[in-house]
């Protein structure tokens, strides 16, 4: 039995579908808090309805901040839960600054509720946490970057970062954003439960996670929201850096298969992995716009704002070397172009309905 928090979100729903397709029982926890963060249009309720059609899916519309109800689920399923995949979160860099108490309660306190329930009721299982590259704060912005026509790029003289950023980058003395701080708190807690209590835990620090099932909003889900904006001929706002800020992009399916590799052969002691699309699946916002226009045949409408997001990354490409060394069977299946084609097709079909 797999317990998945945020089970209707991008990674949570992909994980739920993945394990249901393997005929495993899934306990899903999700109270659609996303609609509170980003409005009804970003609600994941439609994915909840789809998941409920599976006989082996059991849904709990419970807030992870509710310690008593979380403990009750674990207590009732003691001895049956083999893995916990914790994807539930307040995921927005910008939104967190509006309501920092809510952000911290969801991301940090919600995580320790789950970790304690895991430690008490199913310590032999594995605990997998989807963290974020924002735990590194704005440290990547101090790398030797060069401005090119459509993107910022690492100076070729610094070959150490040729593949991207690995787990050795410091998380200290940088501006993280409120969101990055709450996720870092959760990240460290997951590590500590692995180290201090000798449990099988892993934290995956994701780059830009994407896919056709992403309910993208302006404040979260850049690639999904960009596709929606262009397909629906809405104006898109780029926050700073001339639109040349770079992200690597990884499809939700590839994230889930990575999590599953750890689940099959978990390690004790608090593993930490950067996970992302890597250099081959990286693009600036301007490059992403060009790709979407070329694939869809639809002209974009966008404006570049001068103000940068506080603590935002100018350049982020993930170095997956550590994870690939530990789990050599894992390979990325979805290229950036393949992901975009699926996302555009999905949005065009939804537009017709």
38-42, 69-73, 264-268: which range is least confident on average? Answer: 38-42
Helix (H, G, I), strand (E, B) or coil at 30: coil
Q: What pLDDT, on a 0 to 100 scale, did the predictor assign at position 149?
A: 96
What band does 213 get if pLDDT is binned at 50, 70 and 90?
confident
The average pLDDT across 318-331 equals 98
Q: Annotate 57-80 with DSSP letters as a single string.
A: EEEE---TT-HHHHHHHHHHTTTT
- The dihedral region occupied by 178, where left means phi > 0, alpha psi between -120 and 50, and beta the remainder, is alpha
Residue (of 190, 132, 121, 96) closest to 11 by Cα position: 132
Residue (of 41, 19, 44) closest to 30 by Cα position: 44
Share of residues in the chain with pLDDT > 90 (%): 85
> What is the C-alpha separation between 247 and 222, in angstroms, rounded?
10
Highest mean pLDDT among 47-61, 221-235, 297-311: 47-61
> What is the C-alpha separation between 224 and 235, in angstroms, rounded?
14
The average pLDDT across 330-338 equals 96
Q: Annotate 145-208 with DSSP letters as a single string.
A: EEE-SS-EEE-TT-GGGSS-B-TTS--SSS--HHHHHHHHHHHHHHHHHHHHS--EEEEEEESE
> What is the C-alpha separation between 245 and 285, in angstroms, rounded?
6
Q: pLDDT tens for residues 110-138? A: 999 999 999 999 999 999 999 999 999 99
In the chain, what are the domains? Answer: 2-352 (3.40.50.720)
Residue 167: burial class (beta carbons within 10 Å; 0-12, 13-18, 19+):
middle
What band does 58 get if pLDDT is binned at 50, 70 and 90?
very high
Residue 201 pLDDT exceeds 70: yes
What band does 345 get if pLDDT is binned at 50, 70 and 90?
very high
Residue 217 pLDDT exceeds 70: no
Q: pLDDT tens for residues 165-189? A: 999 999 999 999 999 999 999 999 9
Alpha-carbon dihedral sign for residues 282, 245, 298, 47 = positive
Q: What pLDDT, on a 0 to 100 scale, did the predictor assign at position 216?
A: 66
Share of residues in the chain with pLDDT > 70 (%): 98
DSSP class of 114: H
pTM metric for this prediction: 0.94
């Amino acid at each position: 039995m797999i317990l998945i928090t945020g089970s209707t979100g991008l990674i949570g729903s992909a994980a739920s579908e993945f394990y249901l397709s393997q005929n495993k029982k899934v306990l899903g926890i999700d109270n659609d808090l996303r609609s509170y963060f980003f409005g009804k249009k970003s609600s994941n309720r439609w994915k909840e309805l789809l998941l409920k059609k599976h006989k082996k899916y059991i849904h709990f519309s419970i807030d992870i901040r509710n310690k008593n109800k979380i403990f009750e689920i674990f207590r009732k399923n003691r001895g049956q839960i083999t893995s916990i995949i914790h994807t539930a979160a307040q995921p927005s860099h910008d939104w967190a600054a509006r309501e920092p108490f809510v952000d911290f309660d969801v991301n940090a306190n919600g995580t320790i509720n789950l970790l304690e329930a895991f430690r008490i009721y199913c310590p032999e299982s594995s605990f997998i946490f989807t963290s974020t590259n924002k735990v590194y704060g704005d440290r990547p912005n101090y790398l030797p970057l060069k401005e090119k026509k459509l993107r910022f790029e690492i100076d070729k003289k610094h070959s150490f970062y040729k593949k991207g950023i690995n787990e050795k980058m410091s998380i200290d003395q940088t501006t993280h954003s409120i969101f990055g701080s709450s996720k870092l708190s959760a990240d460290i807690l997951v590590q500590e439960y692995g180290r201090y209590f000798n449990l099988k835990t892993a934290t995956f620090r994701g780059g830009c996670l994407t896919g056709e099932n992403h309910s993208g909003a302006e404040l979260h889900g850049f690639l999904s929201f960009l596709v929606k904006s262009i397909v629906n001929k809405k104006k898109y706002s780029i926050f700073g850096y001339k639109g040349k800020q770079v992200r690597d992009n990884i499809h939700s399916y590839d994230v889930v298969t990575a999590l599953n590799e750890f689940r099959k052969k978990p390690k004790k002691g608090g593993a930490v992995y950067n996970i992302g699309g890597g250099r081959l699946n990286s693009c600036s916002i301007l490059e992403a716009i060009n790709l979407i226009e070329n694939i869809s045949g639809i002209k974009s409408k966008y404006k570049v704002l001068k103000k940068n997001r506080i603590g935002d990354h100018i350049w982020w490409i993930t170095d997956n070397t550590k994870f690939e060394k530990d789990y050599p069977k894992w390979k990325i299946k979805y290229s950036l172009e393949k992901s975009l084609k699926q996302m555009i097709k999905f949005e065009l079909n939804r537009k017709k309905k």
